Amino acid sequence: MTRVVPAEEGAIAEAAALLRRGLLVAFPTETVYGLGADATDDRAVAALFRVKGRPAHNPLIVHVAEAAAAEPFAVFDERARALAERFWPGPLTLVLRQRPGSAITRSATAGLDTVAVRVPAHPVALALLRAVGRPVVAPSANPSGRVSPTRAEDVASELDRRVALVLDAGPCTIGVESTVVDLSRPDRAVLLRPGGLPRSELEAILGPLAGAEPGEARPRSPGRLASHYAPRLPVRLDARAVAPDEALLAFGEDAPEGALATFNLSRSGDLREAARNLYAMLRAADRSGARAIAVVPIPSEGLGEAIRDRLARAAARRPEPAVGGAGG
C-alpha cells in the first residue's frame, strides 16, 4: 500500500529525495492535495500523466517556492509582477510566456509556448519545494476528471500503490483549486479558471478580466475540460426539491427535505466554508447509496463563482472512454 506519513521534517526530506529520483509524491497545498513530479524530468512527468489517466493536451501547473524561482522559465511583465507580489504565496496561477531554452519538459506544458506557474501558500508545500530545489508539477492527486482530494486518505484510496509517498498535513484550508489568469498576451488578461482567489481581488489590480473562449482545441491551463471534478453519480444542479433516492448538497439554513442523505456545505451561508467542504461532501454523497446527487442553487459572488464552475463541470456529460485507453 502507498505510505501515508505525517508531513514532518524527515518525511519532507524523504519526499524531496523521491521527487529528485523521478518518483511521484502527493503533498498538501492550501487548495487541494497535489500529485508532484519533477517538472524538468520528462519520464517523471510522463509517469504522472499515466497514473492520472490525464489527456496529453491538458497542461500542468508548475509549482515553485518563490517567484524568483520561476524567472528562468517564465516571462514576467509588470502585471505578472504586481500579482505575484500581492498574491503569492497563494491560490493564484499565472499563465505566462515560456522562456526559450526553458528546462520545463514539453509534456508538462502540452507543447505550448506558455507555462502555468504558482507559489502555493502551504508550509509543507513550500518546505518540500525548497528541499527539492527544482520546479515541481502538481495536478490534483486523483484520477483525471474525478473529484479532487482535500485529505491524504482521499489520495491513498484512489492512487494506492501508484504513488511513492503521501505527505499528510490534514484537510486543505481552501478546498478548491487555484484561480488561473492568462497574461501571455500584453493587451489582454483572461480568467481561465475561477478558483480560490475571487475575481474581484484580481480585477482591483488588472481591471475587468476577459473570459476564456469556449471550445478551445488546446486548453492553456488545467480545469478547462467540460467534464471534470466529477463524482461517479450524476449531478443535478439548482435543485429546488429533492427525490427520496437522491443525495442533497445543501447551502444555508433552508434546505429541501426528503433526501436519502443531506450534506450541508455551510449552514451559515459562508462561501469560504462551502468551498472548503465541497469536494469532501461530493465524495460523501457519492458513497451514500443514492441514485444521483442534487445540488441547491449556489450564489455566484466571491468564491461562489469557483464552486459553481466545479459543480457545472461535475454535472457535465461524461466523455466516453477510449477503447483500450485511460478514461477522462
Residue 44 corresponds to which cell in the numbers above?
A: 517523471
Residue 102 corresponds to which cell in the numbers above?
A: 526553458
| pLDDT tens digits, 169-221 | 999 999 999 999 999 999 999 999 999 999 999 999 999 999 987 655 566 66
Average pLDDT over residues 88-92: 98
| pLDDT tens digits, 228-244 | 788 999 999 999 999 99
- Please tell me the distance from the alpha carbon of residue 195 to that of residue 31, in angstroms, as a whole number: 9
Evaluate whether 278 touches 175 at the Cβ level (below 8 Å): yes
Scanning the structure block, which residue is given the C-alpha cell 429546488?
240
CATH match of 235-315 with 3.40.50.11030: yes
Average pLDDT over residues 113-121: 98
Q: Is the pLDDT of residue 98 over 60?
A: yes
- Please tell me the distance from the alpha carbon of residue 101 to that of residue 74, in angstroms, as a whole number: 11
| pLDDT tens digits, 8-38 | 999 999 999 999 999 999 999 999 999 999 9
- In 88-187 the beta strands, taken as DSSP E runs, fall at 92-98, 114-118, 136-137, 165-168, 179-185
Nearest CA-CA partner of 94 in 122, 115, 69, 65? 115
Average pLDDT over residues 89-97: 98
pTM for the full model? 0.93
Q: How confident is the model at residue 256 (pLDDT cuts 50, 70, 90)?
A: very high
Q: In what order do the strands lie in the sheet with 246-250?
A: 235-236, 292-295, 246-250, 261-264
Scanning the structure block, which residue is given the C-alpha cell 512527468?
45
| pLDDT tens digits, 289-314 | 999 999 999 999 999 999 999 999 99
Domain positions in the chain: 4-211, 235-315
| pLDDT tens digits, 129-147 | 999 999 999 999 999 989 9
| pLDDT tens digits, 261-280 | 999 999 999 999 999 999 99
pLDDT for the residue numbered 77: 98
Residue 318 corresponds to which cell in the numbers above?
A: 461524461
Q: Are β-strands 188-193 and 179-185 bridged in parallel, bridged antiparallel, or unpaired?
A: antiparallel
Nearest CA-CA partner of 145 in 57, 229, 29, 265? 229
pLDDT for the residue numbered 213: 75
Q: What angle do CA 17, 21, 26 make, to 5 degrees?
A: 65
Q: Express as a percent the part of the chain with pLDDT over 90.
A: 89
Scanning the structure block, which residue is given the C-alpha cell 476577459?
210
pLDDT for the residue numbered 322: 41
- Count of Cβ atoms closer than 10 Å to residue 148 Cβ: 25
Average pLDDT over residues 87-108: 97
Q: What is the third-level CATH fold of 4-211?
A: DHBP synthase (3.90.870)
- Please tell me the distance from the alpha carbon of residue 198 to that of residue 200, in angstroms, as a whole number: 5
